[in-house]
């Protein structure tokens, strides 16, 4: 009995070791590289654990590249942890205020791999009832927070993420041309606001702004989503409110506006 318990403990310990290795190598690793990182344990035991994690979707196997990488179940779990322990708790009251001021649905999202994850949501008084729940994943290239997060990535990481995720047409207005999309990302970074003009859902406009930490890194995005008819007449006002809300949340998690300080 004691031997079985020891074996179970060793397996659990090894699972965590594998996940730690993969979390540091987000592009994925072949099994032999994983074993090298683990001081070359028995190949059969590592293979068995990897297959179990693939089955539970904590690990994804890339058939063409013969690599293993962090899977969607683990990413969703991390999104829940983030929402419970970090940004979400700071952002929630400010999100509620933004929703009250605009009447529109407000979302908080983070980038995980090549997908956008919503970690919180506040429905507005004029909610369009899109039924997008917390924990839902979205294409990065057609969502306003997704485009925003991409815009702030290192250029090489940006290109790799786009190539991995692709630019499929989600609606008739989705940007699917690579060069056009890169120009859009450049504009977003310059203006510090991301707007989707029916690129994800016809008739819906999204407006997002970046949330930055104390190292001036973009760690999340906040957005409102509303029908074209309600956004068009007050677009400038809504952009201003979303950007102010993002700055307020950023300051709550340690961001210091250098421009404001210098003045």
Evaluate whether 148 touches 127 at the Cβ level (below 8 Å).
no
Are residues 232 and 114 part of one domain? yes
Are residues 105 and 43 part of one domain? no
CA 116/CA 16 separation, integer angstroms: 25
Evaluate whether 146 touches 241 at the Cβ level (below 8 Å).
no
Which residues make beta-bridge pairs with 195? Answer: 207
The percent of residues above 70 in pLDDT, for the chain, comes to: 89
Do you know the residue count of the chain? 263
Mean pLDDT of the chain: 86
Are residues 254 and 147 part of one domain? yes
- For residue 19, what pLDDT is reported? 87
Are residues 97 and 63 part of one domain? no
Are residues 105 and 217 part of one domain? yes
Final residue in a domain of this structure, among 24, 44, 70: 70
Final residue in a domain of this structure, among 70, 101, 121: 70
Instruction: Collapse the DSSP code of 261 into the 3-class scheme (helix H, G, I; strand E, B; otherwise coil) and give the result.
Output: helix
Domain count across the chain: 2
Q: Please tell me whether the overall predicted TM-score, pTM, comes out greater than 0.75 for this model.
A: no
CA 249/CA 246 separation, integer angstroms: 5
Are residues 192 and 89 part of one domain? yes
Residue 2 has pLDDT above 50, yes or no: no
Specify the CATH number for the domain of residue 209: 3.30.450.40
CA 117/CA 220 separation, integer angstroms: 10
**Higher-confidence residue: 228 or 23?**
228
Are residues 249 and 158 part of one domain? yes
Report helix, strand and coil shares of the chain as percent, to nearest 5. Answer: 50, 20, 30
| Model confidence pLDDT, tens digit, residues 48-106 | 999 998 998 889 999 889 999 988 887 777 666 655 556 778 889 999 999 999 999 99
Residue 166 has pLDDT above 70, yes or no: yes
Specify the CATH number for the domain of residue 32: 1.10.10.10
Mean pLDDT of 221-238: 95
Q: Give which of 160, 166, 171 is closest to 140, Cα–Cα.
A: 166
Are residues 82 and 65 part of one domain? no
Are residues 225 and 203 part of one domain? yes
**Higher-confidence residue: 139 or 98?**
98
Final residue in a domain of this structure, among 70, 89, 114: 70
Could you tell me how far CA 113 lies from the centroid of its own chain? 7
Please provide the DSSP assignment of 149-163 as one string: HHHTS-HHHHHHHHH
Residue 227 CB neighbours (<10 A): 14
Please provide the DSSP assignment of 77-139 as one string: HHHHHHHHHSHHHHHHHHHHHHHHHH-SEEEEEEEETTEEEEEEEE--TT-------TT-EEE
Are residues 82 and 61 part of one domain? no
Are residues 104 and 232 part of one domain? yes
Mean pLDDT of 25-45: 85
Compute the C-alpha angle 93/95/96, nearest 5°. 65
Are residues 116 and 173 part of one domain? yes
Q: What is the domain range of residue 52?
A: 2-70
């Amino acid at each position: 009995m004691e031997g079985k318990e020891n074996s179970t403990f060793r397996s659990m310990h090894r699972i965590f070791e594998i996940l730690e290795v993969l979390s540091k190598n987000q592009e994925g690793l072949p099994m032999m590289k994983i074993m090298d990182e683990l001081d070359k344990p028995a190949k059969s035991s590592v293979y068995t654990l990897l297959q179990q994690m693939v089955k539970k979707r904590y690990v994804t196997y890339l058939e063409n590249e013969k690599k293993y990488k962090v899977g969607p179940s683990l990413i969703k779990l991390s999104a829940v942890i983030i929402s419970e322990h970090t940004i979400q708790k700071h952002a929630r009251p400010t999100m509620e205020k933004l929703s009250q001021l605009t009447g529109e649905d407000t979302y908080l999202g983070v980038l995980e791999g090549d997908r956008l994850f919503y970690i919180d949501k506040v429905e507005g008084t004029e909610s369009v009832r899109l039924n997008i729940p917390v924990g839902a994943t979205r294409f990065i290239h057609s969502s306003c927070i997704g485009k925003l997060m991409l815009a702030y990535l290192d250029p090489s990481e940006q290109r790799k993420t786009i190539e991995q995720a692709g630019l499929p047409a989600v609606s008739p207005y989705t940007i699917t041309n690579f060069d056009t999309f890169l120009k859009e990302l450049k504009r977003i970074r310059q203006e510090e606001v991301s707007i989707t003009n029916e690129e994800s859902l016809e008739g819906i406009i999204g407006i997002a702004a970046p949330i930055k930490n104390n190292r001036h890194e973009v760690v999340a995005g906040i957005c409102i989503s509303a029908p074209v008819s309600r956004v068009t007449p007050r677009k400038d006002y809504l952009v201003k409110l979303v950007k102010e809300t993002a700055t307020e949340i950023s300051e709550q998690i340690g961001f210091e506006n250098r421009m404001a300080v210098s003045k």
